[in-house]
Amino acid sequence: MSGREPEPPEQTSPAGPAPHEASGQRAISLRRYLLTGILLPVGVLIIVNTASLYRQALAAVNTAYDRTLLASAKSIGEQLDVTGYDEQSELRVTVPYAALEAFEADNQSRLFYRVSSLKGDLVSGFEQLPFWRGEIPIRPPYSALVDFYDDVFREEPVRVAVLLQPVASGKGRAMAVVQVAETLELRKTLARKILFDTLWRQAILLAVIALVAVVVVQRATRPVRRLSAELKARPEGDLTAIAAPDAPRELLPLIEATNQVMGRLQHLLDNQKRFVRDAAHQLRTPLAVLKVQVQSALRGDMEARDALGEINQTVDRATVLANQMLALAKVEQLRQQADLQAIDLAQVVRSVALDLSPLIAEKDIDFEIETVPAQVRSHEWMLGELTRNLLHNAIKHTPAGGPLAVRIVRDASFVAMTLSDSGPGVSAELSARLYEPFSAGDVRHGSGLGLAICREIVETMHGSITLENRVVHGQVTGLDAVVRLPTA
């Protein structure tokens, strides 16, 4: 055997894991959820709108500056001269640089030009500027044979306007290709300015929307925070209903459901306290009597057989009391469950009558039972306990050889079970407190819980119970216990 002691089990916190740890995920903040749900789509929409505005502004800038390029090309085209016709033509042009200065908006961008024949032969301008190989659009943006495109010249991006300029004179006729290229510094500067202006406006708009959303969400969630603070500030054990008259309409179902849960908890706590109080009060007496009887037997005040008989009676009464108190607690437990089943009351009554047949035979009671199939929604234990308590009371109060009848009738809505004994009935004083716990007519032979259990069971099944004296010719001939239960 190893001398090593076993390690103690790992200790866990009595309180258990936190709610968010038990569920494996952190709780979602309602404010964060609302702000994210509002601001995220708005932010995405603003970004898309900003990009769209920037593209539109850039297109407007290109349109404006393309018009300037076209004017430059037309100005150059006006300086052309030709000798010869068509393929034998020879183009001549003299374009002083001063002719282009009027179209330069500032000192940032630069203009380059090239005049060529349709075959690409250079007439004047910058030879390094690539010759145009495209096509004139079917519907050009201006009333001219013009095309615009982006290209690279001297390792710089440029915007190029191509104008097919017809040239005619008294000495000839030809078609010239006039290309004017402009660097993009000015366009980019203007586009950036438009972009920054747009971004500032969109940022201010987003900030305003965010501020409004935060204020609205804070005001909307204020009742939730106030309600949470009130619940946290409540003393322990306070299960009174939540009063929130200014709560939003969306919170009312939650508050109502919470109040219902708290009401059920309060009901359970009240029953638990009542059970503990009644148990402490009712069991104290038989235990005290039992102790006195045992001490008396030990001192030899009475014969051992007589002492044991009295002790046995006291134990029987305590046992009956404990069992009935447990039954009352079980009724309350079953009340909270909703799994009621359709059960034949007639079958339960016959089964209970068979169990109690020794008591019936012991008193030689003239017992009669008349039943019809009757389905009610209940727990089988509750129906059995109800029938057993009523039939046991009826047997106890029926004199020896007297009649006792159990009848079950039903209609479309209710099932009625009537137990008719031939006992002395109940007095007017006792009938006023008959269903109260520990209100037995004979405290020596009962705990006073039987009818209280019956009433709790009947109310759980949404039925009713009545006890009425049966009077014939002014004399009480017995007691009728009538239970009415809704049909399944």
pLDDT tens by residue, 134-152: 888 887 777 788 899 989 9
Contact 470, 477 (CB under 8 A): yes
| Chain mean pLDDT for the chain | 79
Our CA angle for 49, 53, 55, nearest 5°, is 120
State mean pLDDT over 21-44.
Answer: 73
R_g over Cα of the chain: 52
pLDDT confidence bin for 439, thresholds 50/70/90: low
pLDDT tens by residue, 121-137: 888 888 899 999 888 88
Where do the CATH 3.30.450 domains begin and end in the chain?
53-192
Task: Tell me how far apart the alpha carbons of residues 162 and 148 are, in angstroms, rounded to a whole number.
Answer: 6
Task: Tell me how far apart the alpha carbons of residues 391 and 106 are, in angstroms, rounded to a whole number.
Answer: 114
Structure tokens belonging to residue 76: 């150059």
Task: Tell me how far apart the alpha carbons of residues 148 and 142 are, in angstroms, rounded to a whole number.
Answer: 11
Q: Answer yes or no: is pLDDT of 193 > 50.
A: yes
pLDDT tens by residue, 89-116: 788 887 766 556 655 555 667 888 899 8
Task: Tell me how far apart the alpha carbons of residues 289 and 297 are, in angstroms, rounded to a whole number.
Answer: 12
State mean pLDDT over 382-391.
Answer: 86
pLDDT confidence bin for 483, thresholds 50/70/90: very high
Q: How many residues does the chain have?
A: 488
What is the predicted pLDDT for the residue at 335?
A: 64
User: Comparing 103 with 356, which gets the higher pLDDT?
Assistant: 356
Contact 34, 220 (CB under 8 A): yes
Q: Answer yes or no: is pLDDT of 2 > 50.
A: no
Where do the CATH 3.30.565.10 domains begin and end in the chain?
339-486
**What spatial distance separates the first Cα and last Cα of the chain, rounded to whole Å?**
66
- The set of long-range contacts for 473-479, using a CB threshold of 8 Å and a minimum separation of 24, is 476/424, 476/425, 477/422, 478/398, 478/420, 478/421, 478/422, 478/423, 478/425, 479/394, 479/397, 479/420, 479/421, 479/423, 479/425, 479/426
Q: Which of 247-251, 335-339, 444-448 has the lowest mean pLDDT?
A: 444-448
- The helix (H) or strand (E) run that includes residue 384 is helix 380-397
State mean pLDDT over 247-255.
Answer: 81
Domain 339-486 has CATH 3.40.50.2300: no
Task: Tell me, letter by letter, the H, E, C secondary structure of 251-266.
Answer: HHHHHHHHHHHHHHHH
Question: 261-333: which CATH number, 2.60.40, 3.30.300, 1.10.287, 1.20.1300?
Answer: 1.10.287
Task: Tell me how far apart the alpha carbons of residues 116 and 134 are, in angstroms, rounded to a whole number.
Answer: 14
Task: Tell me how far apart the alpha carbons of residues 314 and 326 are, in angstroms, rounded to a whole number.
Answer: 18
Where do the CATH 1.10.287 domains begin and end in the chain?
261-333
Task: Tell me how far apart the alpha carbons of residues 250 and 248 are, in angstroms, rounded to a whole number.
Answer: 5
Structure tokens belonging to residue 477: 């001939």
Structure tokens belonging to residue 75: 């100005």
The model carries a pTM of: 0.47
Which amino acid makes up residue 486?
P
User: Comparing 23 with 194, which gets the higher pLDDT?
Assistant: 194
What is the predicted pLDDT for the residue at 340?
A: 73
pLDDT confidence bin for 334, thresholds 50/70/90: low
What is the predicted pLDDT for the residue at 144?
A: 81
Percent with pLDDT over 90 in the chain = 14
Question: 53-192: which CATH number, 3.30.450, 3.30.479, 3.30.1330, 1.10.3470?
Answer: 3.30.450
Using alpha carbons, list the distances in angstroms from residue 371 to 375, 381, 487: 12, 19, 15
Residues of 333-366 as b/e, b for ≥16 C-beta within 10 angstroms?
ebbeeeeeeebbbbebbbebbeebeeebeeeebe
What are the backbone dihedrals phi and psi of residue 434, each rounded to the nearest 5 degrees, phi first? Answer: -70, -35
pLDDT confidence bin for 370, thresholds 50/70/90: very high
Contacts with 220 (C-beta within 8 Å, 6 or more apart), sequence order: 34, 248
Using alpha carbons, list the distances in angstroms from residue 213 to 34, 35, 162, 221, 224: 9, 7, 53, 12, 17
